[in-house]
Amino acid sequence: MNEAGAVEDGLTLYNWPTSTCSQKVRLVLAEKSLRWEDRRLDSRRNENLSEWYLKLNENGVVPTLAHGRKVIIDSSVINEYLDEVFPNIPLSPTDAYQRARMRAWRQFIDEVPTPAIRIPSYNRYIRHKWETMPQHEFDALVERRTVRKHFYRKMGRNGSGPEDEREAIEKLRETILRMDRALARGPWLIGDQFTLADVSLVPSLVRMFDIGLSSLWEDRPLVAAWYERVQARPSFAKTFYPGSRYGAAGSHPAIEMSAC
C-alpha cells in the first residue's frame, strides 16, 4: 500500500489515538471484531493537512475509512456504513422506530456534546502546544486548516474565555441529564440493545473523565453505571489503548492538535 492508498478489499482507518471521533469508529470496529489496518496519522507534523490526505478527506480531519477503493468520511457516517455493510453483531435496532430514536440521539450527540467537549479539551491540554510558538506561525498553521479553521481562530493560542467554557460544560451537563432520563428505561440509551447511540457518547464521557469533568455525573447513578458497563465491554480496552487518552490515563496531549 502506498502513502495514500488502501488495501484492495480490506478496511483501513486513517485516525489518531486521542481523536474522539476516531475512538468512535474504533469502538465499532472492535464491537464487530473486524480486521482493519490502523493507519495512525502523525499529529505532530499535521499530517491531516498534507496534500495526500486532503485528497482522501478534504475536511482535513480524522477519521477517514477506506474500504478497498471506497473512501468514507465523517465518523457517524462511517459507523452507519460499517453497520450496514457488516451486519453481523448489529449495532442498530431492527425496528424502524427504534432506529429513528437511535438516529435522533446521534444527531443530538453530533450537535451538542461532540463540539462542546472540544472547548475544555483545548483549554486544559491542547493549547499548551502553542505556548512557545510565535503568533505568526500559529496564524499560518490555522490558515492551512479547512473545517476547523474558525474554531482555532476563536480559541487562539491561549484558549477560550471562561464564559465559553461555562457554556460548553453546561451543554455537557445537559447531555448527562438527557442520558439519565433515557437510562431509566433500560441499560442502554435505546433500551436493552447497545447501539450506535451509545457508541457515539462513549468518547465524550471518557474525555470528560480524563479532563476532570466526571463530577457532572456524580449525582446520576444511572449514568455512572452505564459508564461502568461500557468499560467492561471487550471493545473498550481495544479502543482506548495506552497513549490514546488524555492526562493521567496515559497520553501526552500537549503535543497533539484536535482534528475531530
Binned at pLDDT 50, 70 and 90, residue 5 comes out as: very low
Q: How far is CA 201 from CA 48, 93, 144, 146, 196, in A?
A: 24, 17, 30, 25, 9
Kindly state the average pLDDT of the residues 26-45. Answer: 95
**Which segments within the chain are labelled E, that is strand?**
11-15, 37-40, 64-67, 70-73
Number of H helices, E strands in the chain: 11, 4
pLDDT of 247 over the 90 cut: no
pLDDT digits (tens, 9 = 90+) for 136-190: 888 888 888 887 888 888 888 888 889 999 999 999 999 999 999 999 999 999 9
- Percentage of residues in the chain having pLDDT higher than 90: 74
Taking alpha carbons only, the member of 163, 166, 245 closest to residue 211 is: 245
Residue 90, pLDDT score: 98
226: phi then psi, degrees, rounded to nearest 5? -60, -45
pLDDT digits (tens, 9 = 90+) for 95-124: 999 999 999 999 999 999 999 999 999 999
Maximum alpha-carbon separation in the chain = 55
Please, which residues have CB within 8 angstroms of residue 205's CB and are 6 or more apart in sequence?
217, 223, 227, 230
Could you check whether 11-85 and 96-247 share the same CATH topology? no
Beta bridge partners of 38: 13
Q: Is the Cα dihedral 234, 227, 188, 63 positive or negative? A: negative
C-alpha cell at 228: 461502568
- C-beta neighbour count of 158 within 10 angstroms: 10
Edge to edge, the sheet with strand 70-73 lists 37-40, 11-15, 64-67, 70-73
pTM for the whole structure: 0.91
Q: How far is CA 104 from CA 81, 87, 190, 196, in A?
A: 17, 21, 11, 11
Mean pLDDT of the chain: 91
**Cell 480486521 identifies what position?**
35
Taking alpha carbons only, the member of 222, 254, 249 closest to residue 23 is: 249
Does 11-85 carry CATH code 3.40.50.300? no
Tell me the three state secondary structure of residue 157: coil
Taking alpha carbons only, the member of 83, 115, 131, 89 closest to residue 207 is: 115
Q: Tell me the domain boundaries of the chain.
A: 11-85, 96-247
Beta bridge partners of 14: 39, 64
CATH code matching the domain that covers 96-247, chosen among 3.30.420.130, 1.20.1050.10, 3.60.15.10, 3.30.360.10 = 1.20.1050.10
pLDDT digits (tens, 9 = 90+) for 14-29: 999 999 999 999 999 9
